[in-house]
């Protein structure tokens, strides 16, 4: 069960990409981009819990946890700089 939940979060994050791509510039587009990065980050953080508890791999778990937090931070940073979603996602930094 712990393997399925992170995968569902990651699949939901992948599904937000085409939705945000077809939306016109609006706060909804920025919010969907933010939702996608948060879902992806949460998926990575939940996967790190699986690595900690079931597989006892501390190194990979810490790396996965840091990656999830980083992805969520990038999403929040992108949303603060461009709340309407005008710029491409690659121009975050």
**Domain range for residue 23?**
4-81
Give the total number of structural domains in the chain.
Answer: 1
Record the pTM: 0.85
- Answer with the residue of higher pLDDT: 37 or 89: 37
32, part of any domain: yes
61, part of any domain: yes
> Contact at 8 Å (CB) between 36 and 16?
yes
65, part of any domain: yes
90, part of any domain: no
88, part of any domain: no
Kindly report, residue by residue over 27-79, the tens digit of the pLDDT. Answer: 888 889 899 999 999 999 999 988 888 878 888 889 999 999 999 999 899 88
């Amino acid at each position: 069960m712990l393997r399925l939940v992170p995968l569902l979060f990651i699949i939901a994050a992948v599904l937000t990409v085409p939705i945000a791509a077809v939306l016109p510039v609006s706060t909804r587009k920025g919010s969907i981009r933010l939702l996608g990065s948060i879902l992806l980050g949460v998926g990575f953080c939940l996967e790190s819990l699986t690595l900690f508890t079931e597989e006892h791999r501390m190194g990979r778990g810490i790396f996965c946890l840091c990656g999830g937090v980083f992805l969520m931070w990038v999403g929040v940073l992108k949303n603060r700089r461009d709340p309407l979603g005008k710029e491409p996602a690659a121009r975050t930094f």
